[in-house]
Each structure stands twice: as structure tokens, then as C-alpha cells.
Structure 1
């Protein structure tokens, strides 16, 4: 479950900004039928920053209930407040959640020692497997390979979602950790190269709307059939790029609504709906990739 194509699931909302349960059911079933390895529920793509603590937990539990053990569910539990991250993690301890994805603390910009102590405290509070999430472009801090290596020695810290887009990180981390430490890409554009260099898969934004395609690419990569994988991935490359023409998850929510996977593309302020000019770009990408 911690390899291949894992989706960083969007959180569908109704016009009032509440969870759209019918759309969530459609999304989860879409990933079950597409062969997605696992769902990350309420990660950063799931708008964790604008959900209350209670809402966050409820969305994860609704996702788990809909999944009904047909697909693994990983809970996003990261926070820039260590105590809040621990509280979220503990909520899912005996829920059926298979693990937690924990983003580096945003805005605080902790030192490497602060990052180590933050993730150590979370891991020591639970038996759930923990996946670190490094995305400096959104958080303002970068967990360095040496710190990842220190954390990998904690038994339930099992891997990292590495979203720097820096492919040199793979060897840097692999040279410092045991062979069973999991490396997942968090960058759709470079994910196939990441897997070619030894990564285990991707936690993907693109998979929200191109689930079968991302599953196939990851399977081909695991079988070392990279020529075929690159051909398929090239069909999605424009899509990979334009899904970040505005802040994630603005474009992917609009695209999901456009192809009928969700009923509304609502977001909570300060996130706003995709601009008209970028709607044209995303629609073109959907057509070029064969999704519309």
C-alpha cells in the first residue's frame, strides 16, 4: 500500500463550503476501480489548512467508511503545531487508518533539530506508521537528508514523500537509510525519473483525475519498462504542469468537476476558483491527455 500510485485526494465541498459526501463517495469508488494503491485523506491537497480539527477528523473517517477496506487510507496529520499533529495522529490510532502523512511545520521554519524533535515526538505518541512529507515550496522549510536519516532510525517512521523536485535527493537519502525505507515522490512532473532512480512510487495530485493512467505508469516503472512508461507519461506532462498553474488544489478541483468526478469545485477562502484564462489551459490539458 505504500508504493505505486497513491492519490493525494481532494476534499470535495458543496456551495456552502461543507463536505460534499456524494462527491467523496464517487471519488473513493473511482480510485478503488482504477487500482490506486492508497488514498491520502486530508493531506495538504485535501485543504487541511482550512478545515477545523473536528472537520479534518470527520473527513478522514468518512473516507475510511466509504473505502470499506477496499483501498487503504492514509491520514494527513501534519501541523505546524506539534501538539496538534500529535492530537490528530492519536485520533486515528485504532480507526483502521494504515498510516499517517505528516508535512513539515509551515511558517515556523524550524531548524533541523526542531524538525527532528517534532517528528520524533509525533512518532513516539503512536504505533501508526509515519511518512514524512517534505515540500519546501509550500512550507518554507526543508528537511535535509541527514535529518531524514536520523528520523529513519525511529521504528514507525517508515518513509518520506519528497516533493522538492530535486532528483539528487534520492541517492542522498538512500545512501543514509536502510533499504526498507520508503521513498515516494511528491512531484508529478519528475515522478517517473524519481522511480527510475529507485523511488517506490508517488503520492500524486494528477491521480485525482487520471487515476488509471498513473497506476499504469507506476506499474510499468516497477517492472523496469521505462520506455513504455515514458511514452504514457509524456501524454500527461502538460497536465502535470498546468495542475499547478495556480496554487494546488485550485486547478485539480476545477478539472475534477469538468470531467464529472465531483459536483462542485468550491474551495474555502483564501483559495478562490480557477481564473478564466487558466480554465482554458486546464481544459486543453484534459483534451490532450484524453481525459475529456
Structure 2
């Protein structure tokens, strides 16, 4: 199954310190209106390190009946121990999810050979498809392109979410990748550039807001309409920039709550409430991107 299109890595709404399941349901229902590739849960945007196992399982149990095969659902699983990641995947296997987004082992800083062995081990925990998640500025290890290419030979490793932060590495990955190996952009500010170089789509946190515009951008870039793509990007880029003035998902949650899709912008510590300065930047960006505001009102 080749993954293509725009995928939204869901925020986890909180209210008064607890998971706000009603806001989560409302957010999922809102996103179901659009022709997204799918949803990803428990990634960086979902504050997975702040969630208990029980909360994660309750969220999956609420989400699957709502999407009812209308969208793909992948679960992000990360950890510093290969065994811990393997066990977490096995615990999710009772659900009919479509696959897993597996982060590189964080904090430990293994060698590239260690990364290869890590993914080979955790891939045995499920027959479902898996995506590599390369995010070195959070995990402290960069998965080299050679390592990604080696892992492409594992039958159920279908591709990579690329958040390497190095456009030269990303472009080489796209140029040299094996046939059938999916590359999804994972760094919102680099989305236009990586789509221009042939990425299959993106896992885009900013696409919580006006997802139809991100879907259109992906499609016109796939069609080779660079002028239309550039026009769309010029409208979306100020919003993306405003959303990332503070660590994700602070800005995205603020925007979603401002537009009444979720009840509260609350994050769990150590993430803090958005500053007044950055809230004003997002307000201004929402007004600039009139298509965003009109879409959210519909």
C-alpha cells in the first residue's frame, strides 16, 4: 500500500489536566470532511510522552469507530528501548489500525547499525506496515539515507517520515530512494520544497487548519503546476511560520481553540501556554490566510 497525500498528526486535546475526549471527537469529525490520506496519532504533535497507556488506548478505541475505514489510521510509537517499542506495538495489535509510525530510538544515540537492528526487531512485532520517523533534533540521532535504504528491504517498512532538517539530505533521499519506498515530508516549513522534489505527500501538523488547501497544494505539485503551488504556498506560509514560534503543538492548539474546533489550547507540562505575542501573530496569520478562516467557518 503506497501512502500518498496529506496526513494530519492529531493533537491531543486537554482540559483541566485531563484528556478532552469530546474535543477529540469533534476534531476527528471535522477532519473527516476532507480528502486526507489519513490520520496519525501519538506523534510529537500529540504529546505522546505526556499520555498514559490507558489514555492512548481510550483514544484509539474512540477514533476507530468514528473514522470507520474512511481514513487510514497510523499510530506513532517511539522509545529509547527496542524492547519497549516492540511491546508497545504488540499492545496496539488488538486494534484494526493500518500501520505504525516508528520513531528512531531517542536519548541512547545508537550507531547506524544499531538503528538498523532496532527497526528490524520492532518490525517483527506486527505484520502491518511501518514508517520510519527520522527527527534528529528531538531524538539526537539522524537516520542516514544509507540506513533508510537498507531498511527499505524489510518487507513491512514502507517508507519514511522525513524531518531530518537538512534539505540536501532530503533531496538526496528523494533522488536515490528505492522504487516503491514512500517519502512523506514531516517538517511543515519544508513542505513546498520537498513536494517540488517529488515527495509523496506530507505528515503536516499545520494541516489541522484548512486541510483542503494543503490537499490542493499536494495535488497541484504532483501535477507539476508550480505556479499554482507557489501561489498556494505564499498564502499558507505565514500561518505555518506563526504556528511554530513556540514548540509544537502550542500554536496549533491555540488556533484550533480560537476557531472552536477544540475547547481549550491547554498542553501538558513542561509545555506552557502560548505567549500573548505569538497568539497575536497567529491571529494575524489567520486573518491573512482568508481561505483558512472561511474553511473553518464552513
Q: Is the shorter-chain TM-score for this pair beyond 0.5, marking a shared fold?
A: yes
Does structure 1 residue 13 correspond to structure 2 residue 14? yes
TM-superposed deviation, 1:176: 4.7
Whole-angstrom distance in 2 between the partners of 1:158 and 1:164: 18
Whole-angstrom distance in 2 between the partners of 1:242 and 1:266: 18
Alignment of 1:228-247 (within 5 A): 228-247=228-247
2:257 corresponding residue in structure 1:
257
Whole-angstrom distance in 2 between the partners of 1:176 and 1:87: 33
Which 4+ runs in 1 deviate beyond 6 A?
A: none
1:60 corresponding residue in structure 2:
60
2:121 corresponding residue in structure 1:
121
Does structure 1 residue 281 correspond to structure 2 residue 263? no
Whole-angstrom distance in 1 between the partners of 2:80 and 2:239: 31
**Secondary structure, aligned partner of 1:143:** coil
2:72 corresponding residue in structure 1:
72
2:296 corresponding residue in structure 1:
none
TM-score, normalisation: structure 1: 0.95
**Secondary structure, aligned partner of 2:19:** coil
Q: Is the Cα–Cα contact under 8 Å of residues 171 and 194 in structure 2 kept in the other structure?
A: no
Does structure 1 residue 35 correspond to structure 2 residue 35? yes
2:200 corresponding residue in structure 1:
200
2:92 corresponding residue in structure 1:
92
Whole-angstrom distance in 2 between the partners of 1:110 and 1:184: 24
Does structure 1 residue 269 correspond to structure 2 residue 297? no
Q: How many residues align?
A: 291
1:3 corresponding residue in structure 2:
4
Per-residue displacement from partner, 1:15-63 (whole Å, max 9, x unpaired)? Answer: 2x22212211111111110221100011111010111222223223322
Per-residue displacement from partner, 1:209-237 (whole Å, max 9, x unpaired)? Answer: 22111111111112222210110111010
- Once the two structures are overlaid, the 10-residue window that deviates more, 48-57 or 211-220, is 48-57
RMSD: 1.5
Q: Is the Cα–Cα contact under 8 Å of residues 13 and 264 in structure 1 kept in the other structure?
A: yes
TM-score, normalisation: structure 2: 0.93
Q: 1:97 to 1:14 in 2, by over 3 A?
A: same
Per-residue displacement from partner, 1:53-81 (whole Å, max 9, x unpaired)? Answer: 22223223322222121211111112222
Q: Is the Cα–Cα contact under 8 Å of residues 13 and 264 in structure 2 kept in the other structure?
A: yes
